[in-house]
Amino acid sequence: MNVIDVKALVRLSITEPEKGAAAVLGLNPPVAARWLIMGFAVTLGVVLAYLLPVMSGRAGDLPSPFVATLVQGGMNIAAVILATTVGRMFGGHGRFEDALLLVAWLQLLMTGIQLIQLVVMVAIPPLGGLIMVAAVALFFWMLSGFVCTLHGFQSRFTVLLGTLGTLFVAAFIMSFVLIFLGFELPEMGDV
């Protein structure tokens, strides 16, 4: 795979996520390579997340990079597990190792968007928020297409609703687990 192929794969994944996901799965790398891609994507994402705060002298406000990497990696593995199991609960046929590859690829794509956002925040700060909203929309656009391809689903809208519902339930359960473990949730200020 050369640079031109990667550019085409990025463009296809953004414009037609189902075809992009099929092309990524068609590469069929070994399982060890899929884990390496995930590790690289998570590490690169954490490095980019720390870049602006470190450059602006606010590195002390951040958790340790090791902790951030563990959290980011854990969230990505949870996404792989949820994409596999919830999809299968609704009649899909996706495999864990394929979900691992697609989530890793999605993380790499979003890291590219994160880099664009970083450049925009430095060059034109007021547009940073707009890029963030576009990034969230792009994330769900690609995720729903990737899940459709992973499981053989036909309706992206149904997958999108299922994804949003799964995220809501997972966040709800996680908040109870954190409270049970003794973590306090942040208080809401006056609105």
| Long-range contacts, stretch 8-11, CB < 8 angstroms, 24+ apart | 10/109, 10/112
Q: What pLDDT was estimated at residue 1?
A: 58
Q: What is the pTM for the complete model shown?
A: 0.87
- Min mean pLDDT across 2-11, 14-23, 51-60 is at 51-60
78 secondary structure, DSSP code? H
Q: What pLDDT was estimated at residue 177?
A: 81
Q: What pLDDT was estimated at residue 182?
A: 77
Q: Is residue 183 pLDDT above 80, yes or no?
A: no
> What is the average per-residue pLDDT within 35-62?
85
Q: What pLDDT was estimated at residue 184?
A: 66
Read off the pLDDT band of 185 (50, 70, 90).
low
| Between residues 189 and 10, the one the model is more confident about | 10
Read off the pLDDT band of 65 (50, 70, 90).
confident
Per-chain mean pLDDT for the chain: 89
Convert the pLDDT of each residue in 108-141 to its tens digit.
999 999 898 888 888 888 888 888 899 999 999 9
Q: Which tokens in the block code for residue 162?
A: 């299922």
Q: What pLDDT was estimated at residue 186?
A: 56
First-to-last C-alpha distance (Å) of the chain: 52
How many angstroms separate the CA atoms of 20 and 16, rounded? 6
Cβ density class 122-158: b for 16+ within 10 Å, e for less: eeeeeebeebeeeeeebeeebbbbbbbbbbebeebee
